[in-house]
Amino acid sequence: MQRPRLASQLSAILLGFCGQLNAVQAADLADNFDLADSSSDIATPSQLTANQLALISQDGQNNVALIAQHGQSILGEIVQSGSNQEAYILQEGIGQMASITQQGYANEAYISQSGAYNQAQISQNGAYNSALIEQTGTGQASSIAQYGNNQSVKLYQYR
């Protein structure tokens, strides 16, 4: 049985949030579009204001990464190694930091933060892992580490 993909669950949120952004899409980050086939990675960093940094690094096939940021002094980073992985970072506010690192196959990660000075990190190593962090408020900090297969965790913080 195939489990539902995180993208299908979050598509409405992402479309609403990213519909206002000028997204830049790349076939892959190695700048070799002429060598890419239909199984290319997709990276989409989107930023509305200055003083933001969005970093995406992908190695493998069929990986999807999206970083959407709105606010000041925001850092988002996604590093993917492997295949068929999905990672999404949505941040709004001041002084936000978020990082997702994935290694393996078919891992899914989602971080959503709003407010000020929040930090979130997800690290996944294995296959078919799913992680979600949602934080709202000021000064929140959270971290999820998954090693192995078929693990799922959801973390919510509101202050």
The pLDDT, as a whole number, for residue 154 is 98
pLDDT at 155 over 80: yes
Provide, rounded to the nearest whole percent, the portion of the chain with pLDDT above 90: 65
Mean pLDDT of all residues in 49-67: 88
Q: What is the pLDDT of residue 49?
A: 63
Q: Measured between alpha carbons, how far is 105 from 108 in angstroms, rounded to an integer? A: 9
129/27: higher pLDDT: 129
Task: Sketch the domain layout of the chain as residue ranges.
Answer: 52-138+151-158
Q: Specify the DSSP class assigned to residue 143.
A: E
The span from the CA of 69 to the CA of 102, in Å, is 20
The lowest-confidence range among 9-13, 68-72, 75-79 is 9-13
* Of 85, 67, 65, residue with least CA distance to 76: 67
The residue with greater pLDDT, 51 or 140, is: 140
Mean pLDDT of all residues belonging to the chain:
80
Q: How many whole angstroms from its chain centre is CA 116? A: 19
Highest-confidence segment of 36-45, 56-65, 66-75, 123-132 = 123-132
pLDDT, residue 74, reads: 94
Q: Note the pLDDT tens digit of each residue in 10-37.
A: 444 443 444 443 333 333 334 434 334 4
Residue labelled with tokens 């941040």: 91
